[in-house]
Amino acid sequence: MKIKNPFLVCAGLVFCAPIQAEERPSPVVILKRSISAPTVAYQGVITVGTRNGRESRIDEVNVHFKPPNRYRWEYMAPDGSVERVVVSNGTEEKICFPKQGKTLTGRVTRPRPGMPLAQKEWNLLLANYNVNVAGIDTIMGRPAWKLALTPRMAGKCHRLLWVDRETGVILENKKFRPHEDEAVLSRFVRFEAPAVFADTIFIEKNHDRDRAHAFDQRYGTPGSFIPTSLPGGFQLVSADSINLRDHVVTQMRYSDGLSLISVFQTSEPVAIPNDVNTPSAINHVISQPTNNGHITLVGDISDDLLKEISYAFNK
């Protein structure tokens, strides 16, 4: 075939190049976009399913979001009534239990891109996980990038994310435990963006003002021995003292960029129930005495890796 006008062909290629690039962004770019706050308001319904062996649970949640960071989550009971409501203005979060007439408040400390903590977690994520585009799927008729986050070390969970191409919202989020089927799945079953709704939806009065209290009273910083890094690529991201009625507990949080381990240091031993009462029962727990009191490790990693990590506190 003879090209009649090579200039026109070149111009066409130059014109189409950005479209081609936009069609195939790098997985890191897609991931970065998904963890940034969406710039569009949306509403929908998410189902959260957790499975551990024979036990499973499903939550249905009505979701409203408005940029930059306001959200409202309504957890529905099987009979259609609202069991609990979570409302946030970005800095404070209220958890309301309408049936019990109780409201709890707490700070929102979710790291946002640009914050030093976010940068640290981001660097850890890229160091400990491989990020790949596993394909393009259609979720509720919307094209979505399928991202695979695979750990570079055995004993950790791997993750699949479906990121909406238009808005960057994560439409589906699956976590798989090592050598097991999926453990936790969140999935939009209805999604509408852009959505229009009144701002009053983000105002939730305290159901019982006298009984409203904080659920994360934290103060001070711990002074005892704290390792800054742990086996498995985990790094210390924060540490606080938590006031629990008649005890002060130190919580150290270690992240590998995706998984999180909490290490609690206590003066007294922690009573771990035989059947750990987690709704999803996905967390592994080790509790043991050390030279600095007792430590309890909680994390969604394999028992072997958690055990290896616990040795770091026996030094």
Partner 1 sequence: MTPDDLNSPDDVELRLRLSRLPRHNAPSRLMTKLRHEFVSPPWWQSWRTAFSWKPAGAFAAAVLVAALWLTYQKREKPKTIDFAPLLAAHMRTQSQTLVPDSDMTAADFSYQLASYEN
Q: Does 14 bind partner 1 (CB under 8 A)?
A: no
CB 270 within 8 A of CB 253: no
Distance CA 129, CA 148 (A): 9
Residue 74 phi, psi (nearest 5): -115, 115
Distance CA 137, CA 140 (A): 10
Look at residue 126 and give its three-state secondary structure.
Answer: helix
Picking from 42, 25, 27, 66, the residue whose alpha carbon sits closest to that of residue 188 is 42
Which span (19-27, 45-53, 138-146, 304-312) binds partner 1, by CB under 8 A? 45-53
Q: Does 301 bind partner 1 (CB under 8 A)?
A: no
Q: Does 121 bind partner 1 (CB under 8 A)?
A: yes
Determine how many CB atoms are found less than 10 A away from the CB of residue 295: 21
Least gap, CB of 115 to partner 1 (angstroms): 9
Q: Does 241 bind partner 1 (CB under 8 A)?
A: no
Cβ nearer to partner 1, comparing 63 with 144: 63
Q: Does 250 bind partner 1 (CB under 8 A)?
A: no
Distance in angstroms between the alpha carbons of the first and the last residue of the chain: 75
Q: Does 272 bind partner 1 (CB under 8 A)?
A: yes
Give the footprint of partner 1 on residues 194-213 (CB under 8 A): none
Which span (8-16, 21-29, 192-200, 275-283) binds partner 1, by CB under 8 A? 275-283
CA dihedral 127, 128, 131, 137 (to 10 degrees): -150
Cβ nearer to partner 1, comparing 23 with 92: 92
Least gap, CB of 223 to partner 1 (angstroms): 19
Q: Does 306 bind partner 1 (CB under 8 A)?
A: no
Q: Does 251 bind partner 1 (CB under 8 A)?
A: yes
Show the site string, 215-234: x = touches partner 1 by CB under 8 A, - = not: xx------------------
State the DSSP H helix or E strand holding residue 167, giving kind and residue range, or none if neither. Answer: none
Q: How would you class 203 by CB atoms within 10 Å of its CB: exposed for 0-12, middle for 13-18, buried for 19 or more? A: exposed
Cβ nearer to partner 1, comparing 23 with 268: 268
Least gap, CB of 25 to partner 1 (angstroms): 17
- CA dist 187 → 62, 75, 77, 260 (Å): 12, 14, 18, 22
- Beta bridge partner(s), residue 243: 248
* 312 DSSP 8-state letter: G
Distance CA 108, CA 89 (A): 9
Interface size with partner 1, residues (CB under 8 A) = 70
Q: Does 3 bind partner 1 (CB under 8 A)?
A: no
CB 312 within 8 A of CB 234: no
Residues that bind partner 1 in the complex, under the rule CB under 8 A: 31, 34-35, 46, 48, 50, 59, 61, 63, 73, 75, 83-84, 86, 95, 97, 100, 102, 104, 106, 108-111, 118, 121-122, 125, 149, 159, 161, 170, 173-175, 183-186, 215-216, 242, 244, 247, 249, 251, 253, 255, 257-258, 260, 262, 264, 266, 268-273, 276-280, 283, 285, 296, 298, 300
